């Protein structure tokens, strides 16, 4: 087997271990609400394992930006979880979600070892999810070798999730699945018209 094929195989195996294995250390979870930044209306709710630490929330160019990590040695962190949410004009259909995910696959295929990137689907209680995994061949992400990227449709809120990792990262797999499925958007109630 060639060196490149060996690296691809190792990368794919590591990603699937991260995404699908059960992490028995993550017993305690937290639930938190954040303002949707772009229009200052509604809330995004997430559940996350406490071993990820406290989420870092900020608003960047009208995007709700939440990050956990990076974790690991200062010189070489081993994993990071990054979430970006933005409201859209209408409820996202299944066809639109697929088109958005395929566009992300096309964009990331340029830096991936994998030549055939498959898309997986999940259905959370409040959302629809499509995701894929790749191994970085360009070292564009610096210390991180692998990435799983998810596109999450929650009504008229679009969320993009990035799970970056390297060798030595904890196998947080099932926690990542639960985290994705927990994302929920609560729109504010309509304003009552004042009586004249």
d(CA 115, CA 134): 10
CA 177 to chain CA centroid, nearest Å: 10
Query: What does the pLDDT read at residue 101?
Result: 95
d(CA 70, CA 88): 29
Query: What does the pLDDT read at residue 41?
Result: 66
| Predicted confidence (pLDDT) per residue in 26-41, tens digit | 468 999 998 886 655 6
| Cβ within 8 Å of residue 152, ≥6 positions away | 124, 127, 128, 129, 158, 159, 160, 161, 180, 183
**First and final CA of the chain: distance in angstroms?**
78
Mean pLDDT value of segment 100-117: 93
| Predicted confidence (pLDDT) per residue in 38-71, tens digit | 655 678 899 999 988 889 998 877 788 999 988 8
When the pLDDT of each residue in the chain is averaged and rounded to a whole number, the result is 79
CATH class of segment(s) 3-186: alpha beta
| Predicted confidence (pLDDT) per residue in 137-189, tens digit | 887 666 788 889 999 998 878 899 999 888 767 666 788 889 999 999 887 76
Residue ranges covered by each domain of the chain: 3-186
Q: Is the pLDDT of residue 14 over 50?
A: no
Share of the chain above pLDDT 70, in %: 74
Query: What does the pLDDT read at residue 17?
Result: 38
């Amino acid at each position: 087997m060639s060196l490149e094929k060996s690296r691809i195989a190792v990368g794919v195996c590591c990603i699937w271990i991260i995404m699908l294995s059960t992490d028995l250390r993550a017993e305690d979870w937290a639930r938190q609400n954040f303002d949707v930044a772009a229009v200052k209306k509604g809330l995004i709710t997430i559940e996350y394992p406490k071993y990820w630490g406290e989420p870092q929330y900020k608003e960047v160019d009208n995007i709700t930006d939440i990050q956990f990590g990076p974790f690991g040695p200062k010189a070489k962190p081993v994993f990071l979880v990054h979430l970006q949410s933005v409201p859209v004009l209408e409820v996202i259909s299944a066809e639109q979600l697929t088109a958005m995910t395929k566009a992300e696959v096309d964009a990331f295929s340029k830096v991936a070892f994998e030549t055939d990137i498959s898309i997986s689907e999940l259905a959370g209680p409040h959302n629809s999810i499509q995701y894929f995994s790749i191994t970085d061949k360009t070292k564009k992400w610096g210390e991180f070798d692998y990435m799983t990227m998810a596109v999450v449709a929650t009504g008229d809120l679009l969320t993009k999730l990035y799970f970056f990792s390297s060798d030595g990262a904890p196998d947080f797999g099932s926690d990542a699945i639960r985290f994705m499925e927990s994302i929920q958007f609560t729109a504010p109630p309509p304003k009552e018209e004042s009586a004249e």
